Amino acid sequence: MHTDLFGIIPPIVTPFTANGDVDEQAFRGVVRFMVKKKVHGICVGGSSGEGHTYSAEEFKRLNEIACEEVNGAIPVVAGIIVNSTRDAIARAASIAHLPIAGLQVTPVHYVFKPDEDATYKHFKALSESTKFPVIIYNVVPWNYLSPALLVRIMKDMPGVIGVKQSAGDLKLMADLLINLPKGKKVFSAVDALLYPSFALGAHGTIAANPAAVPGVCINLWNAVQAGDHKKAKEIHEALLRFWNTIAFDNLPANIKFSLSLQGCETGVPRMPMPATTPEQAANIRREMDQVLRYDN
């Protein structure tokens, strides 16, 4: 079983049927598509996977399927998006029988924001209750954790191995990277700026662009690791134009549409998320033709 987390780790989409049920066969196809693209891992139940809509049973079942399909070839990260410490611990416990490489966990995200000490205690309780390494998914706009708090948590908690830094502020990521405790990792979810994220030293990405065009992101990662910044900048420009066509409130739907253009069956988004509009589809098709020039 591979457990080292680095590089391109797509938060894969979850295919749903028209009545909102999980399409398990199509989900298996998504996992196989990602493995074929030679990604470095996958994440189940992230934002791109509509993980915020999962029931506890769906969370468990989809992680079981993902582990079965990859069969130890690449790491599987389980995304936990819930609103209490108790529920986060319960979800982690429900997959204790699986060879999961880590948990991607959001701070709580309902209206009421816990203070920094409460957030600290949330991750402490979770990390001490599970055998799985924890990655903090720093994405909630009204509960966005500062670099100082993230560093404090990582220094004090051996079970918290890193952060997935989202939103568009590369300065916050740079601050986090230069103060990062030894042995910890930062994964970029700044989709528009994956190239500079990698150049600054991010250990990888768990983000929407890799979920939509994994092969392109693999080539971007490889170019930066090889020091080929001319090629990396070319890929970045094509990837940014593509990102600008999918980055809307129905982003998971647009990722699904993008994958469908590559022959991967993805079902439909779960209500109430709207499907890709005709205008969005036209723009995605246009930029998809360009960005796939850099596919692997």
pLDDT digits (tens, 9 = 90+) for 251-284: 999 999 999 999 999 999 999 999 999 999 999 9
Cα gap 43→63, rounded to integer Å: 9
| pLDDT confidence tier of residue 169, bands split at 50, 70 and 90 | confident
pLDDT value for 79: 98
* pLDDT band of 285, cuts 50, 70, 90: very high
Model confidence pLDDT, tens digit, residues 20-29:
999 999 999 9
Q: What percent of the chain clears pLDDT 90, i.e. is strictly above it?
A: 97
In the predicted model, what is the mean pLDDT of residues 182-201? 97
Q: Which CATH architecture has domain 7-294?
A: Alpha-Beta Barrel (3.20)
Mean pLDDT of 98-122: 96
- Mean pLDDT for all residues in the chain: 97
| Residues 205-259 pLDDT 10s | 999 999 999 999 999 999 999 999 999 999 999 999 999 999 999 999 999 999 9
Instruction: Indicate whether 1 pLDDT > 70.
Output: no
What would the pLDDT profile of 9-66 be if each residue is shown by its tens digit? 999 999 999 999 999 999 999 999 999 999 999 999 999 999 999 999 999 999 999 9
Q: What confidence score (pLDDT) does residue 2 get?
A: 56
At residue 168 the predicted structure's pLDDT band, cuts being 50, 70 and 90, is confident
DSSP assignment of the chain equals ------EE--B----B-TTS-B-HHHHHHHHHHHHHTT-S-EEESSTTTTGGG--HHHHHHHHHHHHHHHTTSS-EEEEE--SSHHHHHHHHHHTTTS---EEEEPPP-SSSPP-HHHHHHHHHHHHHH-SS-EEEEE--GGGPPPHHHHHHHHHH-TTEEEEEE-SS-HHHHHHHHHTPPTT-EEEE--GGGHHHHHHHT--EE-SHHHHH-HHHHHHHHHHHHTT-HHHHHHHHHHHHHHHHHH-STTHHHHHHHHHHTTT----BPPTTSPPPPHHHHHHHHHHHHHHGGG--
Using 50, 70 and 90 to split pLDDT, how confident is the model at 167?
A: confident
Domain limits of the chain? 7-294
Q: Can you give the pLDDT at residue 184?
A: 98
